[in-house]
Chain A
């Protein structure tokens, strides 16, 4: 199994630019999560999907952030416009639906906004 795949692994962009992060969950998993990790705030859940439907987006910091899951094998997290404070590592995770099933994490995308 290839695990959760994220791209790009590193992204450097300038303030004001649009950034799109991509995630391919593990085949067969029906839940997908986007997290952000920073030194200051630790690991934060941004949004999660169940069967491609957003269930909880209360962690999305503001309207500049949006996430989509057009099908079971692909999700995007978009930031438009990006700001320096968005610099962080963004993780995607997937799991089988249930609160007792572990989440499998991707390697993350390190985003730097200059």
Chain B
């Protein structure tokens, strides 16, 4: 069965500092991996996804993530945090054995300090 863990339910960084949000998954087959962002009182918005090909994936708002099969990880990074990055971030996994059923991680709340 698929599962997703996100280390740290709450991460705080200073404005301009590196953002690193961790995601590890379990899947019996090569997975498809997604990062979503949720701003307060809004729905989830796709940041980026990995399906096949290049393992370093670039997304919107300067975020990127790297798929590391050996570590079963898909960590999200951004070189320099902005105040507007404060939000909840969700990692999700799917694979063709489970149809379109996404499994979402528990989420990580990112705070950006001035």
- Interface set of A (CB-CB < 8 Å, partner B): 4, 31, 33, 42-43, 45, 48, 50, 55-56, 91, 93, 95, 97-108
Contacts and interface: CB of A to CB of B under 8 A. Distances in A.
* Interface size bracket, B side: 20 to 34
SS class, residues of chain B in contact with chain A: mixed
Interface in B1-55: 32, 34, 36, 42-46, 49, 51
Given A42-B107, A43-B107, A102-B34, A97 B100 contact: yes
Return the 10 tightest CB-CB contacts between A and B, nearest first: A105-B43, A100-B51, A105-B44, A99-B94, A100-B32, A102-B46, A43-B104, A42-B106, A107-B43, A99-B96
A106 B42 CA distance: 8
Interface in B60-109: 90, 94-96, 98-102, 104, 106-107
Contacts of A50: 99-100
A45 B51 contact: no
20 contacts: A42-B106, A43-B90, A43-B107, A45-B101, A45-B102, A48-B101, A50-B99, A55-B100, A56-B99, A93-B43, A93-B44, A95-B100, A98-B100, A99-B98, A99-B99, A100-B32, A100-B49, A100-B94, A103-B100, A107-B43
A93 B45 CA distance: 11
A106 B43 contact: yes
Contacts of A103: 44, 46, 100, 102
A101 to B, nearest CB: 8
B100 A102 contact: no
A101 B43 CA distance: 17
Contacts of B44: 43, 91, 93, 103, 105
